Amino acid sequence: MRFLFFLLICLNLSAKEPNLREQIGQMIMVGFNGLSTNDVGVRAMLSDLGYSRFGGVMLLGRNITNKKSLINLTNEIKKRQKNVLIAIDEEGGYVSRLKDASFQANYASAYDVGVSFDINMATNLYAKMAKNLKECGINVNFAPVVDLHFKASPIIGAKKRAYSQNPQKVALYAEIFMNELEKQGVFSVLKHFPGQGEAKQDSHKDKTYANLTKEGLLPFSKLINRAKMVMVGHIFVQNLDEKNPATLSEIVINRLLRQKLGFNGVVISDDMLMRGVGDLPLKEQIIKFINAGGDILLFSEFKIGEKRTADVVYEAINEAINEKKISKERINQSYKRVLKLKEELK
């Protein structure tokens, strides 16, 4: 009788152990097409999510019409997987997804906040934004930008996405942003590590180059103990690693971010479909990101060619494990980091 009881316990415990596909799924976040369950793209996404093909989704402008429809969409997403990450880019200013009047979300850009807002004004702004995101069912915001402001930057400076060229000021306002998101149970994401404000290229379109500076790293250093997630940018940091963008660089992620700055949280890539990630085949990019210490691979599209992105990524990782290019232990490490993060969801 005791043996049977022990056997039942063992079977129950083993049933809860995630298989490799489920572990890899938690390392994938995808975008998708559609606005509601009436759309084929949404139904496909919800189906795959229910089978744990991925552990997070990112919302883009193409998924959002008004506040009511967005709430309905996120409710449906949450039904399919416990503690799914639902992410958005809501920085304020140029980078805003909440454009419809129903959101009442005409938020100032980071640069305008840095120039014109005092601490109380910034707190009120980000408190309103965080509450709005929470009401919409969003639990991850790809913000704040803690890059430094340089006017010549086409993707950061020109679009007013950075608070200031003064790193202390950047850290001050970014922390206010993080505080208000945290109060609402929304994870902030520091970006774009290790700093791409001075880059004169747009990493969406081209290879992007910058140098690591003490000033550029300072906001990350000051806020890293508060951060749960960090997004690594597609930046070739010339004085650290000329061969790899930061996203694929063991020097940048493992040595600088994890060892030197002591970050033990979740590292997410910038969109892996951006041209700034470089010219390597996707499988090699995935291998490098994971071996460098990255945890979540972000893809803005649900499909790559004719295949579903989650299947492409799983097959690449599974092949790499069989080829001994990635260890199962490394996958399990990222899986545990992601699950630990998700345990904090309210």
Using one digit for the tens of pLDDT, what is the confidence trace for 168-177? 999 999 999 9
- What number is the average pLDDT over the span 223-231? 97
- Dist CA 71 CA 66 (whole Å): 9
State yes or no: pLDDT of 6 exceeds 90.
no
**pLDDT category of residue 200 using cuts at 50, 70 and 90:** confident
State yes or no: pLDDT of 123 exceeds 90.
yes
**pLDDT category of residue 2 using cuts at 50, 70 and 90:** low
Whole-structure pTM value: 0.94
Instruction: State the pLDDT at residue 198.
Output: 81
User: Catalytic residue numbers?
Assistant: 204, 270
H or E element in which residue 237 lies:
strand 236-237
Instruction: State the pLDDT at residue 323.
Output: 98
- What number is the average pLDDT over the span 116-127? 98
pLDDT > 70 in the chain, percent: 95
Give yes or no for a contact between 218 and 171, defined as CB atoms under 8 angstroms apart. yes
Give yes or no for a contact between 335 and 18, defined as CB atoms under 8 angstroms apart. yes
State yes or no: pLDDT of 218 exceeds 50.
yes
- Dist CA 118 CA 126 (whole Å): 12
- Number of Cβ within a 10 Å radius of residue 26: 27
Q: What is the mean pLDDT of the chain?
A: 94
- Dist CA 317 CA 324 (whole Å): 10
**pLDDT category of residue 16 using cuts at 50, 70 and 90:** low
Using one digit for the tens of pLDDT, what is the confidence trace for 65-94? 999 999 999 999 999 999 999 999 999 999
- What number is the average pLDDT over the span 280-305? 98
Using one digit for the tens of pLDDT, what is the confidence trace for 293-339? 999 999 999 999 999 999 999 999 999 999 999 999 999 999 999 99
- Dist CA 89 CA 81 (whole Å): 22
Instruction: State the pLDDT at residue 334.
Output: 98
Name the nearest CA neighbour of 321 among 14, 16, 19, 20.
20
Instruction: State the pLDDT at residue 5.
Output: 47
pLDDT > 90 in the chain, percent: 87
Q: Which domains does the chain have, with CATH numbers?
A: 28-342 (3.20.20.300)
Residue type, 285: Q
- What number is the average pLDDT over the span 131-160? 96
